[in-house]
Structure 1
Amino acid sequence: MSDRIETPASFGSPKATAQAGRLGYLPVALFGSVMGLAGLSSAWRLAHRVYGMPLWVAQAIGVLAVLAFLLIGFGYAVKWVTGPIAVKAEFNHPIAGNLFGTLFISLLLLPIPLADLSVPFARAVWIVGAIGMIVFAWFVIMRWLNQRQHPSHATPTWIVPVVGLIDIPLATPSIQITGVNGVLLLALAVGLFFAVPLFTLIFSRLMFEEPMPNNLQPTLLILLAPFAVGFSAYVTVTGEVDRFADALYMLTLFLLTVLVGRLRYLAITCPFRLSWWAVSFPLAGAVSCAERYADHAPGPITHGIAIFLLATVTPLLLVLAARTLWGVLRGELEALAH
């Protein structure tokens, strides 16, 4: 099976179909940039509540996230209409197919900034995202069970459908929705349960299989997301920071130090590609996790960690956004997608 699969393909359609139609190379994974910007906007909202930071910063980043979603959505719609074979190939790919979850995760996160404009509209967007995410996660898990998988396919992108489920509760305080506690518990339970065996499979693949190609190295940070986002989702659903939440916070910090150390040479081994956006949402999730915990357990260490992460992740994501826009203006998008 691995002989027939273009295993390194993770961002964009497999090469055989990347030229189909217009924008056939445009990766659905680029919605990960929306996730990162929306997550950063949420982190600045928390900073406004906890530290009194200006709210307009969160709102401005939220606007960027919405604009990014509209532009990428339009581009991918063009790809779908003019080259459906490329979309089908991407969806069926054992690695890239999981990244269709980035579309639904974007719909789950954007209601947070959209609620400033219209709570009913934000609620409608969230409902679409929640239904789509649950159906997509069910489909992916069924595909894993029904089709034999190769160990080399177990990359961090497999985490995306699980993270999508964990994201479902995050926007509920902003959109003021009630009567969905069962859905939130379902999403949290399934997401956290599947995170453990998937993390184990991926970690085993990293230890015993061939190293991932350089262009996939940024996706390693996705391994952080289930625990960082899981903390925020768990606290949102339960309304308290208990011992389990404490453990998720501690695990987030430990994994963050491990993975950042692993990626310290990323700029040398992997010149800028769209796959770099894979680091954005996990890092933004870690910022929110640290801020929530610092609010719960105030102290120089917890506040220092939260402020440090906010101060480092913010310019990093804004640089990624600027570099991507510069690449688009220079006509480099196709090259950056590979």
Structure 2
Amino acid sequence: MDTFTNYTLKSGRPQLDYLPVGLFGSVMGLVGLSIAWREASHLYGMPVAIADGIGAVAVVVFVALVLGYGWKCLTDWQATKAEFQHPIIGTLFGSVLISLLLLPIVLVRVSPKLALGMWIVGAAGMTLFAWLIVSRWMSDRQQMLHATPAWIIPVVGLLDLPLAMPALNLPAATGLGVFALAIGLFFAVPLFTLIFTRLLFEAPLPDGLRPSLMILVAPFAVGYSTYTTVTGSHDIFAVALYMLTLFMLAVLFGQMRHLATCCPFRVSWWAVSFPLAASTICALRFAGVSPGLFTDGVALLLLCVASVAILGLFLRTLKGLLSGELRTLSS
């Protein structure tokens, strides 16, 4: 974010030019954690009130971010435009649309019509955004150093499209659901390969981008939930996605172990939240189909890890907001 300069109104009052669009990833993480706790309530009798409470927080955070980023768009359009055109940061606009696709799972119990309308906007916007980003990639020569885990969000993010369809009483196994599953899984392969190649043969990611490594588990974790939602089956491919999720988590946990010492807290740390929540949902749903000491243990362990991590991120961000250091944490 140090690419962007600070803008002010003609009155000289500082504006929200520093507010990063990637902070919408916090909504994704909170909604994912809410879904995970609801799954845990079905499986293990956990209090459903926890899921409802986390979901309510996610809605409040989303509304606050929409107002804040909307104000940024109105007062600092050039900063917003620069953010959208950035080869890495621009892909994070997909987090806004994914939030619109996930929030209906929480809101459908309160207002089915609002949830459906939000999902329609998210589905249309995510499809258009995926097309736009792929067109951008194919129109201009890209630099290998820009191939970071954030590149997974715009196209592989389509995997989130079918997740709310059962809750909205929409058939997931129709053309739209299959379209999202096909595009998401197809592009996951070359994008993961490209990013992995960049990690192997180019300079290491800057410390500020280290948390985004956790995004690499998302195609497998979300892919599992989407595949089982669309196909309605739990076949060998679903099991393979679950196994890949566990393997990638084991690798990435090793990469994250020094995060607190190498990289001071920034709001970019929220990049770990949704992949952790999605992995927890994957593990819980797999445990529901194949209960056992191992699968139940993994599911409960991930639920604890995701809950502690996201609570820590939330409290640290809230502290930064109340102490007036959000600009620094967004850099």
Determine whether 1:15 maps to 2:3: yes
Report the CA distance shift for 1:334/1:182 in structure 2 as closer, same or farther (over 3 A): same
Contact 1:17-1:85 at 8 Å conserved across structures: no
2:190 alignment partner, one of 185, 194, 197: 197
Residues 250-280 of structure 1, C-alpha deviations (whole Å, 9 max, x = no match): 0000000000101100000001100100000
Determine whether 1:97 maps to 2:90: yes
1:160 alignment partner, one of 153, 164, 173: 153
How far apart are the structure 1 equivalents of 2:326 and 2:172? 43
Where does 1:128-207 land on structure 2 (aligned, <5 Å)? 128-178=121-171, 181-207=174-200
Structure 1 letter corresponding to 2:5: T
Contact 1:120-1:175 at 8 Å conserved across structures: no
Cα offset for 1:18?
A: 4.0
Contact 2:84-2:90 at 8 Å conserved across structures: yes
How far apart are the structure 1 equivalents of 2:173 and 2:197? 36
How far apart are the structure 2 equivalents of 1:131 and 1:288? 25
2:106 alignment partner, one of 110, 113, 126: 113
Unaligned runs of 5+ in 1: 1-8
How far apart are the structure 1 equivalents of 2:26 and 2:8? 24
How far apart are the structure 1 equivalents of 2:280 and 2:330? 27
Cα offset for 1:119?
A: 1.3
How far apart are the structure 1 equivalents of 2:127 and 2:151? 15
Determine whether 1:247 maps to 2:240: yes
The 3-state SS of whatever aligns with 1:90 is helix
- Using the size of structure 1 for normalisation, the TM-score is 0.94
What is the match of residue 280 of structure 2? 287
Cα offset for 1:118?
A: 1.2
Where does 1:1-338 land on structure 2 (aligned, <5 Å)? 9=1, 15-19=3-7, 22-178=15-171, 181-338=174-331
Contact 2:163-2:225 at 8 Å conserved across structures: yes
How far apart are the structure 1 equivalents of 2:167 and 2:216? 27
Residues 236-263 of structure 1, C-alpha deviations (whole Å, 9 max, x = no match): 0011110100000000000000001011
Cα offset for 1:17?
A: 3.4
The 3-state SS of whatever aligns with 1:35 is helix
How far apart are the structure 1 equivalents of 2:294 and 2:260? 30
Residues 189-228 of structure 1, C-alpha deviations (whole Å, 9 max, x = no match): 0000000000000000001011111000000000010110
How far apart are the structure 1 equivalents of 2:128 and 2:310? 30
Contact 1:108-1:168 at 8 Å conserved across structures: yes
Contact 1:33-1:277 at 8 Å conserved across structures: yes
How far apart are the structure 1 equivalents of 2:148 and 2:249? 18
- Using the size of structure 2 for normalisation, the TM-score is 0.96
Residues 157-195 of structure 1, C-alpha deviations (whole Å, 9 max, x = no match): 000113320000111111112487111100010000000
Contact 1:163-1:229 at 8 Å conserved across structures: no
How far apart are the structure 1 equivalents of 2:196 and 2:305? 27
How far apart are the structure 1 equivalents of 2:109 and 2:7? 40
Report the CA distance shift for 1:179/1:173 in structure 2 as closer, same or farther (over 3 A): closer
Contact 1:228-1:285 at 8 Å conserved across structures: yes
How far apart are the structure 1 equivalents of 2:198 and 2:308? 32
Cα offset for 1:20?
A: 5.3
How far apart are the structure 2 equivalents of 1:16 and 1:127? 33
Report the CA distance shift for 1:158/1:294 in structure 2 as closer, same or farther (over 3 A): same
Q: Count residues in correspondence.
A: 326
Contact 2:161-2:177 at 8 Å conserved across structures: yes
Contact 2:165-2:172 at 8 Å conserved across structures: no
